[in-house]
Structure 1
Amino acid sequence: MAYHDPGSADPLSLSGVIPPTVTAFRDDEAVDYDRTAAHARFVVDRGVHGVFPLGTNGEFPLLSDSERDRVIEAVVDEVGGEVPVIAGVGAPSTHRTVAHAEHAERVGADGVVVVTPYYYPLEGDAAVEHYRAVAEAVSLPVYVYHIPGRTGNALSLETFDEIADLDAVAGMKDSSKDVPWLLQAADVHPELTYLVGSDALLVTGLQAGCSGAVSAVANAVPELVVELYEAYDDGDVDRARDLQRTVFAVRDAFKSGGSYMAGVKSALQLREFDVGPLRSPLRRMDEDELATLRDELEDLELLSS
């Protein structure tokens, strides 16, 4: 019996491992929609419990509006109906965020993930009204995406309290790495679903009351993170902690050159599932970095297809 259940206000009852799936590119950096959909298939076939296209790993800030829409369409067409597809729809403006959310609903996404608006400083009342506008525009469940290290805008507990009271808000993906903040948010609003958004805190997040994880490592080695989640769900916390140590090692390997996201795509390449480069100005690993990554992942016995 799971003892970290989804929130009662979440109609999707999200739990388990939900990778923030990648956007594949051709060598000229044009979006490869077929390969993007195939990556969603790759992780679903390896046991994940949902997919989150157009998160950070999906490189959403580097895509045009039309590209973003087509990515959601491709992923829904490929795995919709098999697992929940929660579509990333966030943008700096409320206008664009609402438009992306409406499109996601039209094409069959199961929920929308709304990152806190970024670039401009955002005060609490404006954040509440932003989420209210999205919640009123669609009939899908809305999941708050809290990642202040990337957006520059942290939500106070008081502001989150107001957002959580919006009828359509079903949960949160928390990538703040602020465990006391997460504990307090979940204590005040246990009716919501919480997803831990840092691979460094998978077990910690589950222990804090999260029902699942949005894991970048699961984009490349979904089997590892699914095994960790299932061990924890079965009550084998010691096994889950052992697997968390392996996840730590994978994170370090991904960071050995370029960026964490370059590590994810390079690991997929090494698993013979090439999703192409990152879109500029992000870069892929060079040959030396890729060789180092190969050695580290081989030592961890993680390069089986």
Structure 2
Amino acid sequence: MTPLRIDTLQGVWGSVLLPIGSDDAIDWDRLGAELDILASSELDGVYAHGTAGEFHALSDEEYERVSAMLAESCARKAMAFQIGASHPVALTTLARIRRTRELEPGAYQVVLPDWLALTEDECVAFVRGVAEAAAPTPLVLYNPPHAKTQATPALLARLLDDVPSLIGIKVAGGDDAWYESMRAPLERCAVFVPGHHLANGLARGAAGSYSNVAALSPDGAVRWYETMRSDPAAAADVERRIAEFFARHIAPLQAAGLSNPALDKFLAAVGDWADIGLRIRWPYDSAPGEAVAPARRDAHALLPELFGV
């Protein structure tokens, strides 16, 4: 596909979630059906190999196959797509780019190497090297709260100065002080925030979300995004009710120690838009099946806008 630009990297993007069988193997038939649903949706794009896509648990062969299936499904439906080349090992990130260059994604998502913290100079050297390997495909830096090296506004400014092909960053967002500190980066690249905070983020200059709300309802997340532009007050009320739903059904699972992939698959099970299942790869725990039905009832009651009601 045509490489994305800062002005075209926007909106609601949905993650590929891996259907995992009881033997810990990917169910490729179910994955293909899920990809067809995502590629036929109203999403602005689809991406693979983020945290929700369990990039940290894939073999090289699985990584290539998932990437190829994503590219094929999206090509059939003219859907934009991005590929995550993230890996804690810098050389593996470069290898994953080499393995998928011919698929021509709109962008590559990458994380900073993650075992020892990096200096600013090391961060710049890494992102510059990845950009050279990926060219002409641009980069999106994924910097979650648990990353060993946090991308401060000052570091982002250096990266944007030194690496013109860095067009976006995926971060957790924050409070008023955080948005004030990010004023310059917000003007220079596409800043993506969590799906359940998108109405607030969009009003403050964010460009979009790699969305956990899309895990719950891909088309519903897009309808909500459209409401953000047409009726911000109504969109803010939806965000308030999403927070209530998360407090009831997601926060207890987080408190029990479940990981983000488990939570995203739980949201997809609640939304029931594809046969993905709750299981994530060993040794991580999956969400309990008995939690799905009550969460689904509350989701439809609290958030009818997301389900076309």
Q: Same fold (TM over 0.5)?
A: yes
Q: Give the structure 2 partner of residue 66 of structure 1.
A: 61
Candidates 17, 20, 25, aligned match of 1:22: 17
Task: Assess if the C-alpha contact under 8 Å between 2:83 and 2:107 holds in 1.
Answer: yes
- Which sits farther off after the overlay, 89-98 or 182-191? 182-191
Q: Give the structure 2 partner of residue 261 of structure 1.
A: 261
Looking at structure 2, the residues matched to 189 and 10 of structure 1 have their Cα atoms a distance apart, in angstroms, of: 14
Q: Which runs of 5+ in 1 are unaligned?
A: 1-8
Alignment of 1:48-127 (within 5 A): 48-80=43-75, 82-127=78-123
Q: Quote the RMSD (CA, aligned, Å).
A: 2.5
Looking at structure 2, the residues matched to 188 and 269 of structure 1 have their Cα atoms a distance apart, in angstroms, of: 35
Please give the per-residue CA displacement for 1:74-128, whole angstroms capped at 9, x wherever unaligned.
1111113622211111112221111112223222322101122222212211111
Q: 3-state SS of the aligned residue for 1:18?
A: strand
Q: CA deviation at 1:304?
A: 7.8
Candidates 142, 146, 149, aligned match of 1:145: 142
Task: Assess if the C-alpha contact under 8 Å between 2:64 and 2:100 holds in 1.
Answer: yes
Looking at structure 2, the residues matched to 116 and 191 of structure 1 have their Cα atoms a distance apart, in angstroms, of: 20
Candidates 270, 288, 291, aligned match of 2:290: 288
Candidates 214, 220, 229, aligned match of 1:218: 214
Q: Give the structure 2 partner of residue 171 of structure 1.
A: 168
Letter aligned with residue 187 of structure 1? A
Looking at structure 2, the residues matched to 220 and 18 of structure 1 have their Cα atoms a distance apart, in angstroms, of: 12
Looking at structure 1, the residues matched to 244 and 267 of structure 2 have their Cα atoms a distance apart, in angstroms, of: 13
Number of residues of Structure 1 aligned to a counterpart in Structure 2: 294
Identical-pair percentage: 24
Please give the per-residue CA displacement for 1:126-154, whole angstroms capped at 9, x wherever unaligned.
1111100110112201111121x222220
Q: CA deviation at 1:183?
A: 4.4
Q: CA deviation at 1:192?
A: 1.8
Q: 3-state SS of the aligned residue for 1:58?
A: coil
Q: CA deviation at 1:177?
A: 3.4
Looking at structure 2, the residues matched to 10 and 61 of structure 1 have their Cα atoms a distance apart, in angstroms, of: 27
Q: Give the structure 1 partner of residue 33 of structure 2.
A: 38
| Change in CA separation of 1:255 and 1:41 when aligned onto 2, cut-off 3 Å | farther
Looking at structure 2, the residues matched to 133 and 116 of structure 1 have their Cα atoms a distance apart, in angstroms, of: 12
Please give the per-residue CA displacement for 1:20-46, whole angstroms capped at 9, x wherever unaligned.
221221221112234334323323433
Letter aligned with residue 266 of structure 2? S
- Please report the TM-score for the alignment, with normalisation by the length of structure 2: 0.85
Q: Which runs of 5+ in 2 are unaligned?
A: none
Please give the per-residue CA displacement for 1:212-257, whole angstroms capped at 9, x wherever unaligned.
11111212212332122101122x1011112212322343323443
Letter aligned with residue 60 of structure 1? F
Looking at structure 1, the residues matched to 38 and 240 of structure 2 have their Cα atoms a distance apart, in angstroms, of: 21
Q: 3-state SS of the aligned residue for 1:51?
A: strand
Letter aligned with residue 268 of structure 2? L
| Change in CA separation of 1:267 and 1:214 when aligned onto 2, cut-off 3 Å | closer
Candidates 175, 184, 190, aligned match of 1:187: 184
Candidates 127, 151, 154, aligned match of 1:155: 151
- Please report the TM-score for the alignment, with normalisation by the length of structure 1: 0.86
Looking at structure 1, the residues matched to 186 and 264 of structure 2 have their Cα atoms a distance apart, in angstroms, of: 33
